[in-house]
Structure 1
Amino acid sequence: MNPSACLGFPQARLWWQRAEQLAGPAPERGRGWHSLRRKFASDLMDLPLKVLCELGGWQAAKTVLRCYQQPDEAQLRQAILSRRRQRG
């Protein structure tokens, strides 16, 4: 295997299935490659979008925004708390 080449889907799928077997829990719908990419995109939400797209291999930023980034409750609370109150 060439470490400087991209990993192909068949090999990635094989590794993923093997990791599931070693981890123990039964395979479950919705817990797979895309859930890993969602976590990656959400955890790195603070990075510039262009950098995140490059790291994750996304060609279109709108794909990341529409399908992958999902803010959690803590991020939403922090955004509200850090908002400056306007005086009226």
Structure 2
Amino acid sequence: MYYIVVYDVEEKGVNKVCKLLRRYLHWVQNSVFEGELSEGKFAELRFKLLQIIEPEVDSVIIYTLRDKWRGREVIGLNKNPVDNLI
């Protein structure tokens, strides 16, 4: 499946979350990652995120796209173009 992950975490956790997400997904812009993951890899990522964040103050939102990818439009500066979208 294709996932879009956005996060808003306290300053002390930003680097940990960013480094973790970079191992699994493509960086799009500040606090936004996207990419294709198997169910197993997604479960692994989700588990590791839960070990890093503080649920009382941090927020991670995961969008799951189950159907065919319909496209991507960037308005303004494209901070990290992704050429290999499926």
Alignment TM-score, normalising by the size of structure 1: 0.28
Structure with max Cα Rg: 1
Q: Which has the higher strand share?
A: 2
Q: Which has the higher helix share?
A: 1
Q: RCO higher in 1 or 2 (8 Å CA, sep ≥ 6)?
A: 2
Alignment TM-score, normalising by the size of structure 2: 0.29
